[in-house]
Chain A
Amino acid sequence: MWPAITRRGTYEEEHGMSQSETLVSLANLKKYFPLTGGVFRKIIGMVHAVDDVSLDIYRGETLGVVGESGCGKTTLGRTILRLLEPTDGTITFMGQDITHLKGSDLRNIRHEMQIVFQDPMASLDPRVTIKNTVGEPLLINGIARGPKLRAMVLDLLQKVGLTEDHLNRFPHEFSGGQRQRICIARALALNPKFVVMDEPTSSTDVSVQAQTLNLMKDLQDEFGLTYMFISHNLSVVKHMSDRLAVMYLGKIVELTPYDIFRKALHPYTFALVSAVPVPDPRFSGRAVLLKGEVPSPINPPIGCRFNPRCIFAQEICRTDEPPLRDVGDGHLVACHFAGELDFGKSSQMEYAQTAEAEAS
């Protein structure tokens, strides 16, 4: 039905491959934004948005990325897709170095990777019908046109739970949740392997959010997609992800295959987790409060970037930057004292334990 699939190998073929095959690999990726000032727009500083990030994303998994606003998670997602030019480092996608690809080579690789943006209204053209919005990637890449295009678009819309009636409507006629579905359909039009979800549910309500998250999981199974799921909502990310990366000031501080609500080894992760409001009044009001504000990424602190706000900071934290090291089973932490610190119990942990005990 979809010529695009047969041309590049079907999902079944891919599925036979080993699950732990690396799809995307980043090595020392850096993205700095120059800061200009003065009469001649001289560069007076650099915003260290993404600073020395190395990580692998395996085929078929969902990698969650969390962090506060300004920590560089969106920049990371966009740099991987080459929507932003990396300052330094390499991006390897399906075994091919795509860091410096140009022209038609880059366009070919873009079939395989797509993005769903945060605000669906801003990422849909208000003057283009849904049929043309979703069909545009197919048309541009010469995959289909005319009646065939219509049939393929309809098929995509049905996959995300929309009907034939919606084909010729404009974005303003849809609700927020439906608009996000349209964006997802458009991202899937070229049958990509890798999709970056950049805060896809942050502008939707809880009940619609549940629908969208369920849809994303269904589509992942159906098309064998690999997701990079960016969000600031920890419970949503935890629900969606197989592995989770926590970012702080442009760096990954913890990368864990475990449930971060139960096993957090970096003090920042623990503070972040404990700040999530627990939907149960019995466990309220016990967040670990971080003092101060996130430092400026223009002049990040020397040593561990978290040291000015960390209650466990020692002398070494102010001088040496901790490497991201493996503490066992692929659990990476960038802290000098990973595993040695006692954070005590968060109310989230107690809530989880109580809820489990009550359930059984």
Chain B
Amino acid sequence: MSSSEDLVLSVKGLTTNFYTYEGIVKALDSVELSLRRGDTMGIVGETGCGKSVTAKCILRLIEPPGRIDGGQILFSDRDPKTGETNEIDILQLAPEEMLTIRGNKIAIVFQDPATYPNPVFRIGAQIAEVVSLHQDLGREVLEIRIRELEDSVKNSASAEHQAKVREQIEHYVSMLENPPKPDKKYARKAAWAKAVDMLRLVRMPSPEQVANQYPHELSGGMRQRALIAMALACNPSILICDEATTALDVTVQAQVLNLLNELKKDIGASIMIITHDLGVVAETCNWVMVMYAGTTVESTSTKELFEHPVHPYTIGLITAIPKLHENKERLDQIQGTVPNLINPPTGCRFHPRCAFATEICSRERPSLEEVRPGHYVACHNPQGNV
């Protein structure tokens, strides 16, 4: 994709291996990915195709026996005040520097809302922890103190006291532009207030009450909302949703997807949605990337993908879904199963299952090429209208 576009994240040649006793699992092999600022991008693929591993690489959450063996993850960080951008390679950062990015600039919502929030802490405390870890709450603390003092002015009878408090308020207001480091007690209060605000942002009914509840008291959909609130608490540039709606019922899923669509307008973050459901992609994303066995096979706009799928795997994936309007006796199926990534097929990793495979497919790995404007495919024998 051309460099003139405003990319917030660009992954180049990302290669990740897992060194297990059975052998080296080649989980990701030269994955290419670009996320434009303000876009919602979908990553689709079957189990074990490397969708989640890609997300974890971006956050540097790969743990041994896994290792990122090559590539670049370029994150372009834009300062909201000055509008300046600086580009950093996430893979070159020290672990301490990564702490300022993970959860702050790039946030993730994981798949299973039942296991992810810590069961022994209140929802509000968990969100507040993220806030106080990453944000300087000086300004918020001052605002809280000013509000408290204003209240005391209203309730106070003595004119002398009022004048004294007003003086204090003015002193605080003058510090607003350049707030000092807040003291602990007030910082905690401010973080909690921010947590309640975030719960309100994700349309949680009675947010003050929910902040005081434990995860087990909430339903799956509400828990997922709380997790989204936690991820958004630091106004991240990128929000990654790793199968965020897979464990939810369709009606709840519709609520969460609708929420994500609305939030995109409010927060201005770029969203990356990892899913195996093409329906979810069609509902929310404007760009989509299809992965197969650790490689990028197709990457294009959502509209283009559904109208003109080009890679045989993508075509198979689209036709394998039972359609609402058809009364077919049999579904079209992709033959065979996903390959073992310890010994992945040579050349194109899809060729043993591909109906259009020719001799070159087993020899040479196809590179990602632009077959139509804005439509990138890694295939020797692209199908359909190219």
Contact = CB atoms under 8 A, between A and B. Distances in A.
A11 B219 CA distance: 47
A348 B324 contact: yes
A214 B333 contact: yes
B321 A290 contact: no
Most chain A beta-carbon contacts within 10 A, residue among B258, B281, B320, B328: B320
A217 interface: yes
Contacts of A177: 337
A178 B250 CA distance: 27
Interface in B320-343: 320-325, 328-334, 337-338
A293 B206 CA distance: 14
Given A205-B46, A348-B324, A279 B318 contact: yes
Nearest to A221: B329
B372 to A, nearest CB: 17
A96 interface: no
B277 A352 contact: no
B257 A271 contact: no
- Counting chain A residues whose Cβ lies within 8 A of the other chain, the interface size class is 35 or more
B15 interface: no
A245 B318 CA distance: 27
A221 to B, nearest CB: 10
Interface residues of B, number: 46
B317 A352 contact: no
Contacts of A205: 46-47, 276, 338
Contacts of A235: 321-324
B323 A355 contact: yes
A290 B333 contact: no
A168 interface: no
B332 to A, nearest CB: 7
B320 A281 contact: no
Interface in B193-249: 219-222, 249
A166 to B, nearest CB: 13
B325 A234 contact: no
Nearest to B220: A69
A253 to B, nearest CB: 14
Contact of B320 (A210, A274, A290): A210
Contacts of A234: 250
Contacts of B321: 206, 235, 279
Given A214-B330, A214-B331, A293-B219, A276 B325 contact: no
A287 B252 CA distance: 11
A279 B219 contact: no
Contact of A210 (B47, B255, B281, B331): B331
Given A211-B333, A275-B253, A352 B325 contact: yes
Interface string B266-283: 000000000011111111
A262 to B, nearest CB: 9
A290 B254 CA distance: 9
B208 to A, nearest CB: 18
Contacts, number: 127
A213 B331 contact: yes
User: Chain B contact residues: over half helix, strand or loop, or mixed?
Assistant: helix
A261 B333 CA distance: 23
A352 B327 CA distance: 11
A206 to B, nearest CB: 5
Interface in A327-360: 348, 351-353, 355-356
Contact of B283 (A207, A217, A278): A278
Nearest to A204: B47
B334 A287 contact: no
Contact of B282 (A239, A261, A281, A348): A281
Interface in B54-95: none
A284 interface: yes
B34 interface: no
A290 B251 contact: yes
Given A213-B331, A236-B322, A239-B331, A279 B278 contact: yes
Nearest to A271: B251
Given A239-B331, A352-B325, A206 B320 contact: yes
B295 interface: no
B219 A207 contact: no
Interface in B143-183: none
Given A281-B306, A287-B258, A356-B325, A207 B282 contact: no
A68 B251 contact: yes
B374 to A, nearest CB: 15
Nearest to B258: A289
Contacts of A281: 282, 302-303, 306
Given A239-B331, A261-B324, A272-B251, 5 more contacts: A207-B316, A271-B251, A276-B324, A284-B282, A289-B254
**Nearest 10 Cβ contacts at the A-B interface:** A277-B279, A352-B325, A239-B322, A275-B254, A287-B254, A205-B46, A210-B333, A68-B249, A207-B334, A210-B331
8 contacts: A68-B251, A205-B338, A261-B325, A275-B254, A277-B280, A279-B281, A279-B282, A280-B282
